[in-house]
């Protein structure tokens, strides 16, 4: 009987050891899983933090660009003899741009962007009633489909020996005299070119065609521009 009890005790002890070992292994496995989960959570948090840092850097960069744009300025001139007031839709920006190359107005990039939300401002820049001093500014502010009538083309047009062709071209640019700002702008461009001696000796026929078309004499236009320049 004594030996039987000893055997039973040994079996119980071995069973307890096995049970404890299994429990220990389970605890280790559970602990390892917990550690792995925590590591995964930490890694995910690191990734999220990196993404947040990238987003913050991008935001700072964008803010820096806005500030830089606000510091930049552009010069805008006006070909309309009465000048043009440009303004944003809510009129939180409102700037008068007088006539003449010597009266260009300096505006910040931000001010120009706000004014371009008023469609007529973009339209006047596209039609050359208003113009940027720097040619690159047209690309910056996305002013496309511009009226292609630079000084050389206008001078060439005014040297035409065909008065009907001259009138036809003028009608194309002024929409048959219906676009008043363009109509007057082109006339005073012609007057200024004449004052600067860039038209040479205009033929009597072309001069008469121009004055009949615009219903105003070139001499009177020169006097008006001269008076405006004196006042400024």
Domain ranges of the chain: 1-71, 73-140, 151-231
Which of helix, strand or coil describes residue 217? coil
Token readout for 169 is 């071209």
Share above pLDDT 70 across residues of the chain, in percent, rounded to a whole number: 69
Give 215's contacts (C-beta < 8 A, 6+ positions apart).
none
The answer to whether 84 touches 130, Cβ cutoff 8 Å, is yes
List, in sequence order, every residue forming a beta bridge with 105; answer none if it has no partner: 76
Tokens 């004196």, residue located: 230
Residues 108-127 have pLDDT tens digits of 999 999 999 999 999 999 99
Q: Is the pLDDT at 64 greater than 50, yes or no?
A: no
Average pLDDT on 1-21 reads 55
Longest dimension (CA), the chain: 147
**How far apart, in Å, do the first and last CA atoms of the chain sit?**
131
Whole-angstrom CA distances from 27 to 46, 60, 99, 225 are 28, 49, 88, 97
């Amino acid at each position: 009987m004594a030996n039987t009890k000893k055997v039973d005790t040994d079996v119980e002890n071995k069973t307890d050891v096995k049970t404890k070992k299994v429990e220990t292994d389970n605890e280790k496995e559970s602990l390892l899983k917990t550690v792995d989960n925590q590591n995964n959570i930490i890694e995910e948090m690191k990734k999220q933090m990196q993404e947040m840092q990238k987003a913050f850097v991008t935001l700072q960069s964008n803010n820096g660009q806005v500030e830089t744009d606000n510091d930049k300025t552009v010069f805008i001139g006006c070909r309309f003899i009465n000048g043009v007031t440009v303004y944003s839709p809510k009129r939180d920006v409102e700037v008068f741009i007088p006539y003449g190359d010597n009266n260009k107005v300096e505006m910040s990039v931000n001010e120009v962007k706000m004014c371009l939300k008023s469609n007529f401002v973009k339209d006047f820049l596209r039609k050359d009633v208003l113009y940027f001093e720097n040619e690159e500014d047209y690309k910056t502010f996305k002013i496309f489909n511009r009226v292609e009538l630079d000084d050389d083309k206008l001078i060439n047009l005014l040297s035409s020996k065909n008065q009907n062709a001259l009138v036809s071209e003028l009608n194309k640019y002024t929409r048959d005299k219906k676009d008043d700002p363009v109509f007057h702008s082109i006339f005073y461009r012609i007057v200024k070119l004449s004052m600067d001696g860039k038209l040479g000796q205009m033929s009597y026929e072309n001069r008469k065609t121009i004055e009949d078309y615009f219903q105003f004499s070139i001499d009177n236009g020169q006097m008006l521009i001269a008076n405006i320049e004196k006042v400024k």
